[in-house]
């Protein structure tokens, strides 16, 4: 296995474990910090932050950010040609997570908005990885040629 793919495999495995822990936690993962977040947002609003930056916005933005690595890792692993697979993986995985929450986790609140936000994050990650891999110049092989 090429080193790049080996690194991508380990990064994907680590990401999958973290994502599974967040997505399939029996209770909402923000429950413990919800009060603190609301207080922080109120303070930010007093300082002049726009009112549309509210709890729902932070939750949705978190869903987008959570899936950016998935899109990027899929593109890094499969290559630029399959950038769309990162988007598809995000939509499919998000749908499966929301379905699992609906069927097995009664304390969680699955929504189609979460699927949309997660898919947007995977799309952003895929496009960023596509941009980076397109702009990156290939590193020339400077090692001496092997002979028998």
- Rounded to 10°, the helix 83-104/112-135 angle is 160
| Residue 147 belongs to some domain of the structure | no
pLDDT tens by residue, 73-121:
999 889 899 999 999 999 999 999 999 999 999 999 899 999 999 999 9
Report the domain count for the chain.
1
pTM of the predicted model as reported, rounded to 2 decimal places? 0.84
Residue 106 lies in domain: 3-135
- In whole angstroms, what is the distance from residue 125 CA to residue 4 CA? 18
- In whole angstroms, what is the distance from residue 113 CA to residue 40 CA? 24
Q: Are 26 and 105 in contact (CB under 8 A)?
A: yes
| Residue 104 belongs to some domain of the structure | yes
| Residue 140 belongs to some domain of the structure | no
Instruction: Report CA torsion sign: 61, 63, 64, 69.
Output: positive
- Rounded to 10°, the helix 3-23/55-78 angle is 150
| Residue 33 belongs to some domain of the structure | yes
Within 10 A of 57 (CB to CB), how many other CB atoms are there?
13
| Residue 146 belongs to some domain of the structure | no
**138 or 116, greater pLDDT:** 116
**15 or 144, greater pLDDT:** 15
| Residue 66 belongs to some domain of the structure | yes
| Residue 148 belongs to some domain of the structure | no
pLDDT tens by residue, 6-43:
887 888 899 999 999 999 999 888 887 888 988 999 99
């Amino acid at each position: 296995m090429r080193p790049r793919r080996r690194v991508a495999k380990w990064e994907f495995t680590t990401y999958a474990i973290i994502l599974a822990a967040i997505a399939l936690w029996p209770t909402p993962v923000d429950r413990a910090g919800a009060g603190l977040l609301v207080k922080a947002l109120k303070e930010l609003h007093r300082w002049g932050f726009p009112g549309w930056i509210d709890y729902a916005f932070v939750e949705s933005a978190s869903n987008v950010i959570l899936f950016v690595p998935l899109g990027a890792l899929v593109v890094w692993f499969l290559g630029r040609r399959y950038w769309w697979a990162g988007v598809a993986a995000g939509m499919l995985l998000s749908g499966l997570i929301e379905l699992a929450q609906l069927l097995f986790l009664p304390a969680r609140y699955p929504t189609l908005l979460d699927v949309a936000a997660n898919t947007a994050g995977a799309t952003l990650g895929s496009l960023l990885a596509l941009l980076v891999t397109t702009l990156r110049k290939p590193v020339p092989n400077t090692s001496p040629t092997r002979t028998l």
